[in-house]
Structures are given as structure tokens and as C-alpha cells.
Amino acid sequence: MSDPIIKIQNMNKWFGDFQVLKNINLEVEANKKIVVCGPSGSGKSTLIRCINRLEEHQEGDIIVDGNELSEKTKDIEKIRAEVGMVFQQFNLFPHLSILDNCTLAPIWVKKMPKKEAQELALDQLKKVQIDDQANKFPGQLSGGQQQRCAIARALCMQPKIMLFDEPTSALDPEMIKEVLDAMVSLAKGGMTMIVVTHEMGFAKEVADEVIFMDEGMIIEKADTKEFFANPKSDRTKLFLSQIL
Amino acid sequence: MQTFNFLKPNRDNIKNYSIIGSLLVLVSLIDVISNAFLQINLTFFLPGSLTNLFPLILGLIGLNMMRIDYSGNKTLDLLNKNINTNNFNALLTLLILFSIIKVLPQSLSWMILDATISGDSKDACTGTGACWTYIKVWFRRFMYGMYPNEFHWRINTAFILVIALGFVGYFMKENLKKYLALYYVIIYPVIAYLVIYYLISGGSFGLQWVETGAWGGLSLTFIVSFFCLIFCFPLGMIFALGRRSNLPAIKYISICYIEFWRGVPLITVLFMSSVMFPMFLPEDFFMDKLVRVIIAITLFEAAYCAEVIRGGLQSLPRGQYDAAKSLGMGYWKMHIFVILPQALKLVIPGIANTFLALVKDTPLIFVVGLAELAGMLALAKTNPKWLGFAMEGYIFASIIFWIICYAMSKYSYNLESKYKTER
């Protein structure tokens, strides 16, 4: 078995007095797809935001691709460049065109020549089927198109890991499918993915493992089939009965 | 049930009613106009007080006859929606119209018809109107201050050069565009300073030295505003970012700076810069008064700019920071490419506000002996040969300031619509 690409050990995190994450232990191997689910406020988003240090943890270790994340980490930008992230609210840059949204980071962070970056961006936009919108601004696109653009933007950095923070929660039911399709094809391409989502259909289709969280703790972690067919804890059973 | 609807139009008779109504309004206006301009009282046959009220009553009846919710006629609907919504608004409309008409003849005759512009001494002004001769004779002083007449071309050339250099950005080649900000923030001010120093101050290249004490008038207004504007903006940006910094030292220095400069009046800052400041300097160190004043105003306005820009930074959603960070951008890249372009776009109205206030604050430098446009005015009106023309001078100055400020605010509207993208 290869070394895990993400390793979290005994991690605790507080917001003020409130402990959001309690004793998290998690290992993710390369090319695996993990789905994180659980009720709102259970700390799922905070957990994956810790993985690229958008949130700081107070105790324990997080090791991403051999680099430990802590206050001493000098090149946090370098690690973040390897970890793509897609947000619930898309967070596209509204003052830039779709194409510029995708080429900004490759040009200025990875120092890629402009032409090469544009070709790469168009290629990625084509994969999520919005290459014909490349010169529009984010405000002119539908929610689903914006989210697919956000996926393409993250992929333009050619990351090793992709984090998805409830990518479909802000979308109309019709648009959820087009975003999930893009994620499924990405998963089939072999990307390492951690996805926070309530789309259990997606979890069944692509996930290798499912993690169920509640009140800041990992309650259950199991292979996908096992998780849905045979949940162990009562809390998981209750959650599944409500969501399925 | 048929209600009494005399003077109330409906969709069927609105055409006739509106014609009669507008005729009545027209008659009332003609009455007021003939009264104001020709001193003819068309309603002499009415008793005294009624004569004055007559046009008002006539106009009100007229407007009342034209009032309808929706007629389909564009002009009429526009009129009804905006100035004729009810009797009270109709009354206000008429009163405002009438007072403008009443005031117009006097001001027209004072400013234009009875005014004098010929001659070149006070004796030419014998009429009852304004004495524009005063402005004409003093015009060069108002524009250039005490700067020697034969050297005025130097100021003109310097200004034309500086303006031309300002347009360089438009003609820059595509591959140089990324240096645009650098050019405007650092290179352009330095070049402008050198141009103004060597051309207006002189002292080398065979140009005679003219000390800054002789500078004045509108050209000084421009010089002071220009340098303060281009320096206070980047400085304000730095302090705005500094105040939001995570590093305590930078954060508290910025807070102290902003709160200090916002807490003192500009006039004391100017006094300090010209009277107190030189006392703390080493004896052999000399800094021109004008430079000190420009630095003082810049530091002062930078604090205001900083707070305006901070408002813009705060209005951006946190997601924009998250997205930029997650793409691997560091602090500076994130701010230069993602945060500042959006924040600055949002604060264009606020920045325009600050800049306009700055331009209109420049007359305060008169307290330290620098006579820009308003200062020259104050000097000229106390000149014994030209006593009694303060009014003309201040009207002239307000017109000039209004033109400058209106141009600036128009430009800021243009910028706003130019950089408007939908969120």
C-alpha cells in the first residue's frame, strides 16, 4: 500500500470556546474518492477547509503530500496550488472573464506563459462543456455553468487533490446534474477527491469511502457499499433514513 | 352613480381637457413673464391682492384639468408623474417656476445687460451692472499669481506636457500594459515633478529662477491638487491594507496614522507644516514651503482615502479571499489581481467625493501665504484701486471651481460605468 497523500492525526479545532472538530483521524490515499456527509454544523466544511489551511487547526497534525501544515509552514501557497478547491458559492472573480478566471492563477502563480495557459484553460473548459462561454463574465452565466467554470479554474492549476465543499447545494435541481456529471468524469480520470455533499447518488456512483460526521466527530467511516447496505451506528442509520 | 366631476378629466375627454389646461398654464406664465420682464400688469383690472394671486390660481386650475392617472400621451404622463401628482406638488411647481422667472431679469441685467467689460481701469465701471473689467484686468493674476508675465509660457508648456504624459497609458502597447500601474503610481509623478520643477521653477537650462512664493492663481490650485491627488491615493491604499493586516505592528501603526490625521483640522496641519515643522529641521536642511504644504495635504487626505478604500475591501465577500488563496495566491497577488480591482471599483464614488473635497480645500493654503485662485481673489479685492468688486471675483471663482469639480464628477461617473460588470 502506498503512502497516504493526506494524513490527519488527532486533529482538534476550536472557534473560540466552541470545539468544531474533535479528534479527527483520516488517511486518504492517492486516487481515492472520499465523500463526507452529515448534518449541517457537523464540521464537514471546516474539515476540508483545514486541508488547504483556509482554516487553522490548533492541535494534531495534518500532512498533505508530505508537507506538514502548521504555523511554521513557509510555502503554504505552494501546497494550496497543489490542492484545488470548489466552493458552494462558486466564488468566481466577477471582474474577470471566464477565460481570465481560469488563466489568472496559472500565469501568476505557476508562471506559465500566457498562450499556454489559455490553451490549457480552453481545454479544461471544453471538458466541462462551457468553452463557448469563455469570453463572458461570471454574472452572465447560470449557476450550473458558473460552478463548472469554478471546477475548470481549479483544474487549471493541475492539482493533485480536489476538494469540493457542497458544490451543488446552491444550485437548482436541474443544474445539479450537469455539475455532478463534470465531477463524475473527473473522478473517472483518477483524481484524488474529497467531496462534501448530500448527493447520495453521486456517493454511490463514484466514492470509494464514505465518512459520516456529526458534532465535530467522525462517527462512521466505511467502504461505500458497506456504508449504505450496513451502517453500524444508530446516528448514521437515522441520517440515512432521512436523506434517502 | 354619477359623481360631480367638473374639472376632472377621464380617458375620453382628456384631449380637450389637456388643451384647455395647458392654455390656462400658458396664460398664467405669460402674465408672470410680462410682469417680470416688461413691467406690464396684464390683470390691472383686478383688485390689488388678487392680481398677484391670479396667475397662481389660473395655473392650478390648468394643471388640475390635465391631471389623470394614465393618458397614453408620453409627455403628459411624464408631466403628471413628476411635477403634477397632486394639488400641493402642482402648487410647488408653479411657485418654483414663477420665482425663477421673477429673479431672472434682475440677475440677467446685472450679469450681462448692464455689465461693463470694456476699459482697463475702475473708471470704466460706471453702470449699475457687474464690472467684468475687473476680472479682465486681473485675469492673468488669477491664473498665474505673481509669476512674471513674460514667463507665463513656461507654466502653459509644463501643464501641456504633464497632461500629454498622462495620456501615455492610452497609447501603450499591449505587452507594456502590465506596467501601467507602475507608470501611474511611480514614474508619472516623478516625471511630472521634474517637468514642473525645471520649467516652472527654472534655475537651469537658461531659465530664470522663480521662487514658489510668486506662484499662484489657478495654476497653483492645479499643481497642489494634482500632486496631492496622485500621491494620496496609493498612500491611502497602503494604509487601508495595513489596517486590515494580521500583523499587529502594521495594523496599529495604520490605525494610529488614520485616527491622528482624521482627528486634526486641515488648517492646523497647514500651520504646523509651514511654521512649526521647519523648527525641527536641521539648520542646513531646506524644504520649500510649497513642498511642505503638498506633503501635509497628501498625508491628511491619505487618511480619508484609506477609510474609503477600507470600506470597499470590507464589502467583498469572504469567498473571494478563499478562492484566491485556494488557487495558491499569496497576499500581494491576491490583493493586486482579485481584491483591489473589485474593491476600488466599488469605492469610485467615495474616492471622487474625497478628491472633490481636496480640490475645494486647496484655498486653505492661503493661510500660510500661498495665494491660489481664491487667495489671489482675496488679495485683489483689498487692492485700493479696485475696492468693491468682491462679488464679481467670487462669482468668477465659483464658476471656475464648479467647472473643475463638475468635470471630475462626470469623469468618475464614466469610470463607474466603464468598469461595471455584473456580479
**DSSP labels for B66-81?**
H--S--S-HHHHHHHH
β-pair type (A4-15, A59-64): antiparallel
Q: CB-CB: which of A77, A93, A157 is closest to B330?
A: A77
Question: What residues of chain A lie within 8 A of the CB of B323, using their CB?
Answer: 85, 87, 91-93, 150
pLDDT digits (tens, 9 = 90+) for B349-374: 999 999 999 998 888 888 888 888 88
Please tell me which residue, A202 or B10, carries the higher pLDDT value.
Answer: A202
Say what the ipTM of the complex is: 0.91
Q: Cα separation of B22 and B66, whole Å?
A: 7
Q: How confident is the model at residue B417 (pLDDT cuts 50, 70, 90)?
A: confident
For the ranges A83-97, B168-182, B215-229, which has the lowest average pLDDT?
B168-182
Model confidence at B422: pLDDT above 60 = no
**Which candidate, B268, B194, B261, B267, places its Cα nearest to that of B227?**
B194
Task: Tell me the pLDDT band of B421, cut-offs 50, 70 and 90.
Answer: low
Residue B43 has a pLDDT of 72
Q: What is the CATH number of domain B132-147+210-422?
A: 1.10.3720.10
Q: Compute the half-sphere exposure of residue A21: CA atoms within 13 Å on the CB side of its CA.
A: 26
Q: What is the pTM of this model?
A: 0.82
Q: Is residue B251 within 8 Å of residue B243, measured between CB atoms?
A: yes
Q: What are the CA-CA distances from residue A91 to residues A179, B41, B230, B346 (Å)? A: 15, 71, 33, 17
Distance between CA atoms of A161 and A81, rounded to whole angstroms? 10
B172-198: per-residue pLDDT in tens?
Answer: 776 666 677 777 878 888 888 888 888
Q: Which pLDDT band holds residue A35 (cuts at 50, 70, 90)?
A: very high
Q: How many residues does chain A have?
A: 244
Q: CA–CA separation, B144 vs B132, rounded Å?
A: 18
Which amino acid, residue B147? Answer: Y
Going by C-alpha positions, the residue among A243, A140, A128 that lies closest to residue A182 is: A128
Higher pLDDT, A107 or B175: A107
Other CB atoms within 10 A of residue B374 CB:
23
The larger pLDDT score, comparing residue B29 to residue B112, is at B29
Q: Is B334 on the interface with A (CB under 8 A)?
A: no
A33-37 and A192-196 beta bridge pairing: parallel
- Report the DSSP beta bridge partners of residue A9: A61
Cell of B346: 466599488
B363 DSSP 8-state letter? G
For residue A68, what is the enclosing H or E element?
A: strand A67-68
Element (H, E) at A229: helix A224-229
Per-residue pLDDT tens digits for B378-414: 888 888 877 778 888 888 889 999 999 999 999 999 8
Q: Is the pLDDT of residue A175 over 70?
A: yes
**A20 Cβ neighbours under 8 A, 6+ residues apart:** A13, A14, A43, A46, A216
The pLDDT score that the predictor gives to residue B1 is 38
Q: In chain B, which among 335-354 make CB contacts under 8 A with chain A? A: 337-338, 341-342, 345
Q: How does pLDDT run across A21-30, given as a tens digit for each residue?
A: 999 999 998 8
| Lowest mean pLDDT, pick from B94-108, B148-162, B401-415 | B148-162
C-alpha dihedral over B310, A91, A67, B246, to 10 degrees?
10
Domain boundaries, chain B: 14-113, 132-147+210-422
Q: Indicate the residue of A85, A104, A140 with minimum beta-carbon distance to B326.
A: A85
Give the per-residue pLDDT at B423: 46
* Percent of chain A topping pLDDT 70: 99
Closest residue in A to B346 (Cα–Cα):
A95
Q: How far is CA A52 from CA A68, A195, B256, B324, B325, in A?
A: 11, 14, 34, 12, 9
Distant-in-sequence, close-in-space partners of B301: CB < 8 Å, separation ≥ 6? B228, B232, B236, B354, B358
Is the model's pLDDT at B329 over the cut of 80? yes
pLDDT digits over B38-59, tens only? Answer: 777 777 777 777 777 888 888 8
Whether B2 shows a pLDDT value over 70: the answer reads no
Residue predicted with more confidence, B47 or A205: A205
